[in-house]
Structure 1
Amino acid sequence: MKVHGRNYEVDNVTGHNHAGPAANTPVRRLTATSIIGDSVENTKGDHLGQINNLMINIMSGRIEYVVLEFGAFLGLGGKLFAIPFGELHLNADKECFVLDRDRASFADMPGFDKMHWPATNDHSYFNDVNNYWGPVIQP
């Protein structure tokens, strides 16, 4: 299929990125699987955790929250936190996301246990999240 001067069949067969090594620069779109598992750091470069999942508003089609796993060691322990997606900023050079919070701030954030997720359509947990962060602002 040829679209706008690109031949996607050739790309698919060869597996080569014919647009060059910086084809995805600046980054505007990522797959969910490329975001899940990404590290999250604060502005000082301290590791805060990793993205465990995404919460997508099916009405708007936008990611509202990332589920951040904080405090886990070798996949054990830790707690999950719904962080508004707009609070994260991509650091493409380091291939991670940045959250402007320190590790101590997680003590006051509403979080939940991995084995006991809140009802995702129940507003009580997300009201607590929005009270902490402020209303979700969509980019």
Structure 2
Amino acid sequence: MPTASGHTTAIRATRAVGTDVYNLDGKKIGKVEDIVLDKTDNAIMFAVVGFGGFLGMGEKYHALPWATLDYDKDQDGYVVPFTRDELEAGPADTITELTKDDGLHARQEAYSYYKVDPYWH
């Protein structure tokens, strides 16, 4: 079944991981590094998007609610409705820290910061 933007509702995680992520200005800001799943709710908790580093140094990892990523065929990547400044000010940590304690803290921070209705309520 297609989404509102005409995309199918199913995608394999292996296809999403590594996909470039762009801001609304069409500038590449990073890529999907991982996808964190909620095993008990059968939902995607968040995508881990890495950006800001150079040659693997200084990269930051951001938990972004999956609903904020919209695949754009022309860009061959995901577009998020945030400016670079908004993203850089958002919650960020190592992937290990983002997934610590089942990722609940990172999920709460991400959904709150990006003002996305939580799927778990």
Same fold (TM over 0.5): yes
Q: Which has the higher helix share?
A: 2
**Structure having greater relative contact order (Cα 8 Å, sep ≥ 6):** 2
Report if the CA contact (8 A) 1:112-1:118 is conserved.
Answer: no
Alpha-carbon shift at residue 118 of structure 1 (Å): 4.7
Amino acid at match of 1:112: D
* Structure 1 length-normalised TM: 0.70
Q: Which digits, 9 at most, give the CA deviation of each residue in 1:83-135, with x for residues without a partner?
A: 00001101023220000111111232111035644514253333222321233
60 and 79 in structure 1: CA distance in 2 versus 1, 3 angstrom threshold: same
The number of aligned residues is 114
Residue aligning to 2:31: 50
| Match for residue 22 of structure 2 among 31, 36, 41 | 41
1:80-91 to 2 correspondences below 5 Å: 80-91=61-72
Structure 1 unmatched runs, 5+: 1-24
Alpha-carbon shift at residue 62 of structure 1 (Å): 2.2
Query: Structure 1 residues 54-63 or 108-117, which shifts more?
Result: 108-117
Alignment partners' CA distance in 1, 2:96 and 2:14: 22
Residue aligning to 1:14: none
Structure 2 unmatched runs, 5+: 1-5
SS of 1:126 mapped into structure 2 = helix
Q: Which digits, 9 at most, give the CA deviation of each residue in 1:6-48, with x for residues without a partner?
A: xxxxxxxxxxxxxxxxxxx844322111100000001211111
* Structure 2 length-normalised TM: 0.79
Report if the CA contact (8 A) 1:55-1:63 is conserved.
Answer: yes
Q: Percent identity?
A: 21
Residue aligning to 2:118: 136
Report if the CA contact (8 A) 2:24-2:80 is conserved.
Answer: yes
118 and 63 in structure 1: CA distance in 2 versus 1, 3 angstrom threshold: closer
Larger radius of gyration: 1
Alignment partners' CA distance in 2, 1:97 and 1:120: 28
Q: Which has the higher strand share?
A: 1
- The ranges of structure 1 where at least 4 consecutive aligned residues each deviate by more than 6 angstroms after the TM superposition are none
